[in-house]
């Protein structure tokens, strides 16, 4: 299980524990974290679960590739550290992960 901090655009932080094997998106949706819409339910078919991975964690999480990278073209204001939270699986290595929620999805 990993503790993940979701930082809202206004600086508000939502810290939740997410079981290994779930996605960062699941942690947000299951804990009612605002701003993570996940309209496709985690199928990597939209960009409404985009997060900006905190710079200190980006090397650990790694960049998007393949279909996820293509979907980020449809995201609101994608950045170098953008990931679709449905594509980031939680492991013990992500304990303490910080992601930033965009102003819009």
**pLDDT tens string 42-54:** 999 999 999 999 9
- Domain spans, the chain: 2-100
Helix count and strand count (H, E) for the chain? 3, 5
What is the pTM for the complete model shown? Answer: 0.96
- Residues 6 or more apart whose CB falls under 8 angstroms from that of 66 comprise none
pLDDT mean by block of 10 residues, the chain; 105 residues: 98 98 98 96 96 98 96 96 98 98 96
Q: Which two tokens stand for residue 93?
A: 């290595």
- DSSP one-letter code for 8: P
As a whole number, the mean pLDDT across the chain is: 97
Residue 97, CA distances (Å) to 9, 43, 67 in order: 17, 22, 23
Q: Which of 92, 20, 4 is nearest to 53 (CA)?
A: 4
Would you state the pLDDT for residue 56?
98
Would you state the pLDDT for residue 57?
98
What is the CATH T-level fold of the domain 2-100, as seen in this structure? Ubiquitin-like (UB roll) (3.10.20)
């Amino acid at each position: 299980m990993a503790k993940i901090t979701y930082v809202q655009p206004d600086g508000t932080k939502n810290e939740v524990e997410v079981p290994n094997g779930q996605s960062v998106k699941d942690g947000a949706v299951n804990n009612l974290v605002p701003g993570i819409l996940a309209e496709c339910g985690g199928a990597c078919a939209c960009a409404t679960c985009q997060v900006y991975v905190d710079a200190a964690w980006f090397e650990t999480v790694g960049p998007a590739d393949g279909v996820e990278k293509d979907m980020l073209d449809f995201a609101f204001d994608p950045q170098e550290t953008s990931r679709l939270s449905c594509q980031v699986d939680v492991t013990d290595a992500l304990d303490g992960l910080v992601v930033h929620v965009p102003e819009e999805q």
